[in-house]
Structure formats: structure tokens, C-alpha cells
Amino acid sequence: MNHSPQTSENYTVKRINELFSHYIQQVHRVYKLPESAESRLSNMLVNKVAPVWVVDDNINDQFFIKSAFNSVRPDIPVITLDNGEELLSRMTKTNLLPRVVLLDLNMPRVSGLDILQKIRDNQSYDNLTVVVLTTSSWVTNEDRRTALALGADQFYTKPSTYMDMIDLIKTITDNWCD
């Protein structure tokens, strides 16, 4: 069978997501974590529960973070956005701002720091909680200092394991989602 690179890549991403979903189900079973939020999502949206927005160009990181949120706080809807421009556009069009924005530091075209600066330049978003996330291979103390100086509420390195991501999401929800 002749697969184009795009089809092969889509199959690979789909298969990774299937395997990761299976892994998450096992973690839920073993650690007796709450089930996912799919069944409650429509009710939450009707009741206008402020969501968390995850802004990350990596769909695997989006899935990883969203799955952890569904494990820790299935009552909180999680919206994923692919880049900072999409975030800024959505912020101007929405009637319900997120309770927290999780903003990836390293994104193509416009960096997370540039997006953070644009958010903080607009007084309408002064009370918006923005948490900057980055991968450990890219983080520097200067990145951390700059993000906090620009008005990030916190700066974290993305965990490499699901259980560490669960711990990070617990920290985030304890600080900004109650």
C-alpha cells in the first residue's frame, strides 16, 4: 500500500494517541482517578464554567495536558489552541475568558513571551491568569525571569511523565481554579 507522508504521519499521531489513551485508562484504574469529563462537558458549557485554555503548537502536549486535567478536575473544560495568534483572536471574540491560560514558551512564528507581552499590554486582561510552560530541554533562568517580569503568574517546566503532569495540574488547579 502506498501512503503519502501526510497520511503516514496522521496514522502515527492517531496510533500514539490511541496508545496514550489506553495508558491513561490504566493509570485511572490503578490509581482510582476520576473518569474523564466528556459526559459532563455539555452541562458545564451551559452553566458557563470558565475553561482552561491550553496554547501549545504540539498536539501531543495538548493531549497530555488535557488528559491530566480530565483526571484531576473533570469539571473544568479544557480548550486547546495551536498558537498565540489563535489565542489573541479568541480572546477578543469570547464572552467567557478562561480561568487560566497555559501558554507554551516556544512556539513557531510568535513566541509565548511575545504573546504574554501582548496580553499584558491590554488592561482588559489584567486579571487573567497566565502560566507559562516549557520543555526542560529549552528552559533557561533568563526565560523564567523574563516571563515573570512580563506578568506570567507562574513558570513551569512541562513534566515528562503522566503522573508528574497530574501533580503539576493539581498545583495549578489548587492555586487558580477554586
Q: Which residues of the chain have pLDDT under 50?
A: 1, 35-47
**CATH code, 48:** 3.40.50.2300
- Torsion angle, alpha carbons of 126, 115, 41, 38, to 10: -150
pLDDT at 11 (0 to 100): 63
The CA–CA distances, whole Å, from 162 to 4, 61, 169 equal: 32, 11, 10
The answer to whether residues 177 and 100 touch, using CB atoms and an 8 Å cutoff, is: yes
141-176 pLDDT per residue, tens: 888 999 999 999 999 999 989 999 999 999 999 999
Q: What is the pTM of this model?
A: 0.75
Helix ranges, 32-161 (H): 41-46, 59-72, 84-93, 112-121, 141-149
Cβ neighbours of 89 (radius 10 Å):
12
The answer to whether residues 87 and 112 touch, using CB atoms and an 8 Å cutoff, is: no
pLDDT at 49 (0 to 100): 76
The answer to whether residues 112 and 103 touch, using CB atoms and an 8 Å cutoff, is: yes
- Which residues span the domain enclosing 64? 5-176
The answer to whether residues 119 and 128 touch, using CB atoms and an 8 Å cutoff, is: yes
Q: How many residues does the chain have?
A: 178
What the block records as the C-alpha cell of 115 is 504573546
pLDDT at 45 (0 to 100): 41
Number of domains, the chain: 1
